[in-house]
A and B are shown apart, each in its own frame.
Chain A
Amino acid sequence: MKRREFLKKLIAGFSTVPVGIWWLAKKVSTPKFVRAVRFREYPGPLRPLADISKQGKWSG
């Protein structure tokens, strides 16, 4: 192996360490889940709050 090739491999080897640390730090700091933000308006038709005293028509 020539000196230049050896140095290339050495630099590549050392550069993996900070990349690895960066990857690990990113993984740890990434939130476990993202809370969605409320959208500015409802995209569908709006209606007033109807009579709610009746039993729901849906299952469950």
Chain B
Amino acid sequence: MCLIEHGQSGDCRVRINIDGVLRTVVYGYPCSIAIDPVEKKPLFHFLPGTKILSTATAGCNLHCQFCQNWEISQANPEDTPAAFCPPAKLVEVTKENRCLSLAYTYTDPIIYYEYTYDSAKLAKQANIRTVLVTAGYINPEPWKKLLKYVDAANIDLKGITEEFYRDVCSATLRPVQNALLIAKASGVWVEVTNLVIPTLNDKAEHIRELARWVRANLGRETPLHFSQFYPRYKMRHLPPTSAKTLDMAREIGISEGLDYVYIGNILSEAGQTTFCPSCKGPLIKRSGYTILQNRLRDGRCPDCKKEIHGVWK
């Protein structure tokens, strides 16, 4: 819980208490709008090869010491240039640029909740899919309300211990796990990302525990992305995650029964390919954010006809 005193902003820096009324200073003022490949979110089982309009405002409700986007997530809106783009305009820009979907990403859509909610609602009316890229640190009620207008989400599971969340992210694990469960139960397409940070959360037993939790609670069909860490923000003294560690994480994920385990932020042929969980044949080959080959036919493996979970059209 974040208690905001009169005249003060909350932990996220962008929600303020003025005379007892909660105000959001970033509604309609994104600090970033760009067109990305959907693979960059990362979403590998959601409209592959399409472009997605991606937006964010300043601020975040977490303070991860390794934040890869800290220049905007840990910034005050007073210091962050932004453009005026109200919800209707955001949807219009998405359509004008022929993007099939709209992503709330880069920082965390939870802190610009009202902007996300209003524009996602409009996007649905305009037949545009909506995507959240979030840490999932939110209470159940607002989360459920928002998910009604969301098609897919990539939710970070930053670690699997309360200590990690408390010491490194200034947060707690349990609400994130709840958010994952609620998103899955709501019918939203969910993919999970874990940033593997040397010495902090790269131990094999922690990775195994995380993969087990995903398998047991979200299902074997949930894609799990292990991403490479780069030294950023308060973790500049740590080296980037090695390819060997990421390969190990992927192997653990597969050995724990997950069907789709990927490696991100680093080139890896096997780690970026979707394999059929039944006949093991390659289905979607990627290089970085580029689709090299997509052999899926109506969401199925062309060889053994196994259904591949995802949103394919």
Contacts and interface: CB of A to CB of B under 8 A. Distances in A.
Contacts of A8: none
Task: Give chain A's interface secondary structure class.
Answer: loop
Interface residues of B, number: 49
Interface in B2-26: 15-16, 18, 21-26
B53 A52 contact: yes
A1 interface: no
Interface in A3-60: 32-39, 42-50, 52-60
A38 B24 contact: yes
Contacts of A49: 33, 83-85, 93
B69 to A, nearest CB: 5
A49 to B, nearest CB: 4
Contacts of B141: 32-33
Interface of B: 15-16, 18, 21-29, 32-37, 40-41, 53-54, 56, 58, 68-69, 72, 76-85, 93, 97, 105-106, 113-114, 133, 139, 141-142, 154, 265
Given A33-B141, A43-B78, A57-B34, 14 more contacts: A35-B22, A36-B15, A38-B27, A39-B25, A42-B77, A48-B83, A52-B35, A52-B93, A53-B97, A55-B34, A55-B35, A60-B41, A60-B69, A60-B154
24 contacts: A32-B139, A32-B141, A35-B22, A36-B15, A36-B113, A37-B21, A38-B27, A42-B29, A42-B77, A42-B84, A43-B25, A44-B58, A44-B77, A46-B83, A47-B81, A48-B83, A49-B85, A50-B33, A53-B97, A55-B37, A56-B32, A56-B40, A56-B106, A60-B54
